Amino acid sequence: MTLQPKRTKFRKCQKGSLAGMSKGGDFVSFGELGKQVLDQWWITAQQIEAARVAINRYFSRRGKVWIRIFPAKPITKKPAETRMGKGKGAVDHWVAPVKPGRVLFEVSNVPKEIAQNALRRAAAKLGLKTRFVERVEQV
């Protein structure tokens, strides 16, 4: 089961820009510990699912996990050995564009050391630079 939107306004979209820092979702708001991204790139639905499975397997039915990103951007691809022109290709897969500062995953109800190990395994599936962040109470 891959993550993708149930419906979208448009079937295909343009590349867009990844310049700048994340506009929102840059602090831990649901769990106690999180994984924050330091690079900008597209994270595919398959990468998100692989990271989720890695966290849940390491927890072995303990704790709670929040996924703070969703792949809502369609990426198109033309078939191999196709000549130029003839329009844009069909939708190949879905990605979540992330900018520096965005919190990807949050966990709670597990010891800190176990949570860090699980998030480290999840980060290995993504191919981006990340760091651990803890929840800071807003005053």
Residue 58 lies in a domain: yes
For residue 49, what is the domain's CATH number? Answer: 3.90.1170.10
Indicate the number of domains in the chain. Answer: 1
Sheet hosting strand 41-44, strand order edge to edge:
41-44, 90-98, 73-77
Residue 104 lies in a domain: yes
pLDDT at res. 1: 62
Is 128 contained in some domain? Answer: yes
pTM: 0.91
Strand partners, 134: 33
Residue-number span of the structural domain to which 101 is assigned: 33-75+90-134
Yes or no: say if 43 and 128 are a contact pair by the CB < 8 Å rule: yes
Residue 65 forms part of a structural domain: yes
pLDDT of 57 > 90? The answer is yes
Domain annotation covers residue 41: yes
Q: Are 65 and 106 in contact (CB under 8 A)?
A: yes
pLDDT in tens, 68-101: 999 999 999 999 999 999 999 999 999 999 999 9
Report if residue 121 sits inside a domain: yes
> Is 2 domain-assigned?
no
Does 43 reside within a domain? Answer: yes
